[in-house]
Amino acid sequence: MSSWQARVEPSPCRALAWQLAAAHLAVAAAPWAAGCGPVLALVLTAVSLLALPATLSAIPGSRCPIRALRLAGGEWSASLRHGAEATAQVNAATRVFPAIVVCRLEVGGRRLDWWIPRYALPADEFRRLKVALRCVRHGAPALAC
């Protein structure tokens, strides 16, 4: 089943990062525009702005701790930002949508998010990743699908 050997190295997604940063800023400004009380508006703005670094770290690019994901022999491994390679497990919270894959991975005892839009990969690699992640989410090893 060599067809299930894959290496996923998405290109940086600067457009998605800018869109999500703009969304965070809009959400941060919304309580003030809606006329919420100052304490509630301050709390909601702080939550939105404090969540921004976590959001940006999930998008492929310079801030993301994951550079590549590899599937070989039914085992997942991740290449990290500093060149280290670690085994990875796909968490059940992983979601596969037509235009984006929202991966929740457990790498080296840490839970990491990785959002891969369709345009960041060639079409065949994106389809292969989607099928492999759906198989794992439904309890089947990637080699069995």
H/E run at residue 78: strand 75-80
Same domain, 53 and 83: no
Tally the domains of the chain.
2
pLDDT band at 99 (very low <50, low <70, confident <90, very high): very high
CB neighbour burial string for 71-83, b if at least 16 within 10 angstroms, e if fewer: beeeebebbbeee
Structure tokens at 114: 């990785």
CA 8 vs CA 16, 43, 138: distances in Å? 18, 38, 21
H/E run at residue 66: strand 66-72
pTM summary value: 0.81
* Distance from C-alpha of 145 to C-alpha of 12, rounded to nearest angstrom: 29
Same domain, 76 and 133: yes
pLDDT band at 136 (very low <50, low <70, confident <90, very high): confident
pLDDT 10s digits, 49-98: 999 999 999 999 999 999 999 988 888 999 998 888 999 999 888 999 99
Same domain, 50 and 70: no
Same domain, 53 and 71: no
Domain that holds residue 109: 65-144
Q: Check residue 99 and report its DSSP letter.
A: S
Q: What pLDDT is stored for residue 37 in this prediction? A: 96
pLDDT at 141 over 70: no
CA 41 vs CA 25, 37, 44, 53: distances in Å? 13, 6, 5, 20
| Residue 8 counted as domain residue | no
pLDDT 10s digits, 21-38: 999 999 999 999 999 999
